[in-house]
Amino acid sequence: MGAHPNVHVPKESWPNWTWYAIEFGIVLAVSMLVSREITNSIQGLTPVDQNWVFMGIVGGIFLIWYAIIRTVVLKRKILETRY
């Protein structure tokens, strides 16, 4: 049996940008869940202060992930294809 030249190879047809979108969604979901738990554990905050604390923690987690962990610690793009 010979190989057919019209074989579908998912690695070559999958759009590469979707990995970045998936990563962004995961980081966003995790940061929001962590921020919700931390914000709920702080007593005596007004709703306005809760919003500031919540978004500050979400922003901090994004900064830590994209600026420090992804660029410094990993030192390469996540899910980078090597040829």
Helices 17-41, 47-63: axis angle to 10 degrees equals 140
Q: Which residue has the higher pLDDT, 79 or 52?
A: 52
40 is a domain residue: yes
10 is a domain residue: no
78 is a domain residue: no
46 is a domain residue: yes
Window from 1-5, 28-32, 41-45, 59-63 with minimum mean pLDDT: 1-5
Residue 11 has which token pair? Answer: 């690695």
**What pLDDT score does 16 carry?**
75
Whole-model pTM?
0.68
63 is a domain residue: yes
Per-residue pLDDT tens for 27-56?
999 999 999 999 999 999 999 999 999 999
Number of domains within the chain: 1
- Whether residue 70 contacts residue 78, with contact meaning beta carbons closer than 8 Å, is answered with yes
Domain that holds residue 65: 15-73
pLDDT of 78 strictly over 60: no
4 is a domain residue: no
